[in-house]
């Protein structure tokens, strides 16, 4: 593991490991408890593979009642718990703790109900994102939020990370498509939030849970909205001589009142890597490539294609292809969807960042990134959810070269600082996790963080659920509101801080 500091393991919990494993086997019999080191290796990391840690024990429950009993057991004995879905988090949200139970939700893999009149699907949290679409596509429906990891990531993980994807510009993130959940609190209590109806009474606790990164409760059931497939979808592939022109075109399309089904941009290194990998027919003589997808009734789509073409020309586009059939549309997307593995072929390692900026700041941020790239001596390739202003710079490095991982991390941190400086935010969709935890003070004041911590304390006052993630300091709930630094002296010096 690099320089990441996590909460110190609790010696008493480590000493009781055999007893804890035996007790958990009573709750989840059969193969649901994994304690052999070689079998736990599969769980030591998530998508942020720079960090690894074996958990105390892995538990794979199958029912809400088992989850409730596990959490109650851990609550009563002060044992930490890290929830995990499919383990594709790119921010280390599912990174295990040495003294923590890793609660893996992958055996919750059933679709529980499809309700076409209410346009809703109820699923267990371990169902994959794409699994929901597969369950309803024969009837002409789909689930709109589409992270690139949708073939693998779980819908429970999507709720915890408020995941997004190409189609979220028009159809919203997970938060906008989630209708209800069942969840278990750290004390074992089972709670239902929302349902199939559109609005819930009382405070928006469903909103609080969405994006809570496994710190507030464990999601055991999810109800999402499904949409009818649009009549037609067509894509434009537009090349620009500069990133600035591509960025301005994005702003002008939105400014003209057009909300494409998806609008993605790639810079030169990403275009070349993607084209070498999938031969999607991308133009190689442009600096920026924009894919704009328009969906809806055929007449409307044809009309909007004409408008987008004109806007692109006004911004100096040098090439523009329009998909003539479904196969061609999918080919346009193939390169973008494979951009991450494509970049993986041109560098031994890459570090994927996830910041969001106001769209108009794109040229300034790209110029800043170029300077940082020179400063750190590391290359960077960019793919963006351009319509949302969500950037995914991929920093290329070689972990076998001493110091390069640290350099890549510092470079990434500087990019995120730049995003915040221009009025953006630290994360678009990958979450804070451990990756951006220590950068939270760049964006939030201590008062902001205290308020967020109060929400955490209302759900989990003992800090047992996924500690060490999201918050840059572990602070006792009782301490909140009384933090005064006097002449540089930190109060409560005995409290672990990381």
Ligand X SMILES: Cc1cc2nc3c(=O)[nH]c(=O)nc-3n(C[C@H](O)[C@H](O)[C@H](O)COP(=O)(O)OP(=O)(O)OC[C@H]3O[C@@H](n4cnc5c(N)ncnc54)[C@H](O)[C@@H]3O)c2cc1C
Cβ of residue 168: shortest distance to ligand X, in angstroms? Answer: 8
The alpha carbon of residue 214 and the mean position of all alpha carbons in its chain are separated, in whole angstroms, by: 12
**Residues present in the chain in total:** 498
- Name the residue nearer to ligand X (CB basis): 189 or 231: 189
Cβ of residue 436: shortest distance to ligand X, in angstroms? Answer: 13
The secondary structure of residue 152, as a DSSP letter, is T
- Name the residue nearer to ligand X (CB basis): 274 or 305: 274
Site size toward ligand X (CB under 6 A) is: 36
User: Residue 123 interacts with ligand X (CB under 6 A)?
Assistant: no
State which of residues 240, 282, 333, 340 lies at the interface with ligand X (CB under 6 A): 340
Helices and strands in the chain, H and E counts:
18, 19
Segment contacting ligand X (CB under 6 A): 71-79, 158-166, 259-267, 284-292? 158-166
User: Residue 86 interacts with ligand X (CB under 6 A)?
Assistant: yes
Instruction: Residue 441: count other Cβ atoms within 10 Å of its Cβ.
Output: 13
- Name the residue nearer to ligand X (CB basis): 84 or 329: 84
CB 309 within 8 A of CB 221: no
Cβ of residue 338: shortest distance to ligand X, in angstroms? Answer: 10
User: Residue 161 interacts with ligand X (CB under 6 A)?
Assistant: yes
- Name the residue nearer to ligand X (CB basis): 20 or 219: 219
Of 409, 438, 289, which is closest to residue 349 (Cα–Cα)? Answer: 409
User: Residue 55 interacts with ligand X (CB under 6 A)?
Assistant: no
**6 to 45: interface string for ligand X, x by CB under 6 A:** ----------------------------------------
User: Residue 154 interacts with ligand X (CB under 6 A)?
Assistant: yes
User: Residue 90 interacts with ligand X (CB under 6 A)?
Assistant: yes
172: left (phi over 0), alpha (psi -120 to 50) or beta: left
User: Residue 80 interacts with ligand X (CB under 6 A)?
Assistant: no
Cβ of residue 105: shortest distance to ligand X, in angstroms? Answer: 4
What does the alpha-carbon distance between residue 262 and residue 212 come to, in Å, rounded to a whole number? 26
Instruction: Name residues whose C-beta falls within 8 Å of residue 418's C-beta, 6 or more positions apart in sequence.
Output: 355, 365, 368, 369, 372
Segment contacting ligand X (CB under 6 A): 7-15, 81-89, 256-264, 415-423? 81-89
User: Residue 389 interacts with ligand X (CB under 6 A)?
Assistant: no
Instruction: Name residues whose C-beta falls within 8 Å of residue 72's C-beta, 6 or more positions apart in sequence.
Output: 187, 188
User: Residue 68 interacts with ligand X (CB under 6 A)?
Assistant: no
State which of residues 127, 160, 280, 453 lies at the interface with ligand X (CB under 6 A): 160
- Name the residue nearer to ligand X (CB basis): 101 or 304: 101
Alpha helix (H) ranges present in 338-424? 339-344, 362-376, 404-421
User: Residue 87 interacts with ligand X (CB under 6 A)?
Assistant: yes
User: Residue 53 interacts with ligand X (CB under 6 A)?
Assistant: no
DSSP-derived secondary structure for 257-314: T---SEEEEEEHHHHHHHHHHH-----SS-SEEEEEEEEESHHHHHHHHHHHHHHHHH
Q: At what angle do helices 404-421 and 362-376 cross, to 10 degrees?
A: 160
Core vs surface per residue 206-230: b (16+ CB within 10 A) or e: beebbbbbbbbbbbbbbbbbbeeeb
User: Residue 335 interacts with ligand X (CB under 6 A)?
Assistant: no
What does the alpha-carbon distance between residue 320 and residue 335 come to, in Å, rounded to a whole number? 16
User: Residue 357 interacts with ligand X (CB under 6 A)?
Assistant: no
Q: What are phi and psi of 492, to 5 degrees?
A: 50, 55
State which of residues 53, 66, 149, 245 lies at the interface with ligand X (CB under 6 A): 149
Core vs surface per residue 53-80: b (16+ CB within 10 A) or e: bbbbbbbbbbebebbbbbbbbbbeeebb
Q: By beta-carbon distance, which residue lies closest to ligand X?
A: 157
**196 to 225: interface string for ligand X, x by CB under 6 A:** -----------------xx---xx------
Longest CA pairwise span in the chain (Å): 70
**294 to 333: interface string for ligand X, x by CB under 6 A:** ----------------------------------------
The secondary structure of residue 162, as a DSSP letter, is T
Task: Give the footprint of ligand X on this chain (CB under 6 A).
Answer: 46-47, 82-90, 93-94, 105, 125, 147-149, 153-154, 156-158, 160-161, 163-165, 213-214, 218-219, 340, 429-430, 466
């Amino acid at each position: 593991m690099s320089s990441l500091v996590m909460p110190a393991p609790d010696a008493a919990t480590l000493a009781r490991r055999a007893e804890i494993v035996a007790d958990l086997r009573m709750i989840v019999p059969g193969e649901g408890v994994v304690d052999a080191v070689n079998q736990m290796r599969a769980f030591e990391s998530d998508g942020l593979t720079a960090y690894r840690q074996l958990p105390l024990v892995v538990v794979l429950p199958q029912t809400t009642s088992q989850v409730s009993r596990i959490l109650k057991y851990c609550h009563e004995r002060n044992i930490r718990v890290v929830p995990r879905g499919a383990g594709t988090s790119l921010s280390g949200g599912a990174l295990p703790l040495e003294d923590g139970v890793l609660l893996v939700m992958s055996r919750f893999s059933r679709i529980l109900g499809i309700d076409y009149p209410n346009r809703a699907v109820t699923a267990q949290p371990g169902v994959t994102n794409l699994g929901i679409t597969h369950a309803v596509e024969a009837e002409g429906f789909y689930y709109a939020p589409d992270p690139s990891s949708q073939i693998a990531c779980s819908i429970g993980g999507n709720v915890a990370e408020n995941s997004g994807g190409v189609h979220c510009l028009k159809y919203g993130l997970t938060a906008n498509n989630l209708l209800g959940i069942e969840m278990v609190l750290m004390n074992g209590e089972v709670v239902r939030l929302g349902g199939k109806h559109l609005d819930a009474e009382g405070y928006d606790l469903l909103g609080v849970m969405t994006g809570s990164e496994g710190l507030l409760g464990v999601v055991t059931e999810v109800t999402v909205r499904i949409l009818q497939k649009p009549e037609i979808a067509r894509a434009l592939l537009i090349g620009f001589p500069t990133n600035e022109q591509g960025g301005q075109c994005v702003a002008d399309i939105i400014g003209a009142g057009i909300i494409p089904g998806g609008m993605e941009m790639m810079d030169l290194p990403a275009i070349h890597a993607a084209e070498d990998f999938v031969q999607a027919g991308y133009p190689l003589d442009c600096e920026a490539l924009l894919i704009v997808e328009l969906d809806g009734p055929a007449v409307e789509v044809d009309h909007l294609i004409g408008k987008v073409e004109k806007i692109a020309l006004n911004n100096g586009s040098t090439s523009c292809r329009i998909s003539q059939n479904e196969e061609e549309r999918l080919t346009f997307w193939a390169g973008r969807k494979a951009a991450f593995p494509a970049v993986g072929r041109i560098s031994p390692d890459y570090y994927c960042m996830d910041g969001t900026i106001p769209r108009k700041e794109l040229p300034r941020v790209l110029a800043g990134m170029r300077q940082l790239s020179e400063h750190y001596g590391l290359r960077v390739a960019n793919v963006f959810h351009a319509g949302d202003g969500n950037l995914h710079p991929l920093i290329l490095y070689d972990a076998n070269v001493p110091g390069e991982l640290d350099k890549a991390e510092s470079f990434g941190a500087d990019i995120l600082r730049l995003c915040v400086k221009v009025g953006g935010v630290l994360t678009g969709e990958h979450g804070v996790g451990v990756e951006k935890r220590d950068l939270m003070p760049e964006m939030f004041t201590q008062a902001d963080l205290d308020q967020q911590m109060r929400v955490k304390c209302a759900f989990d006052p003992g800090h047992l659920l996924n500690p060490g993630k999201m918050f840059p300091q572990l602070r006792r709930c009782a301490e909140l509101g009384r933090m005064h630094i006097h002449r540089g002296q930190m109060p409560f010096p005995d409290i672990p801080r990381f």
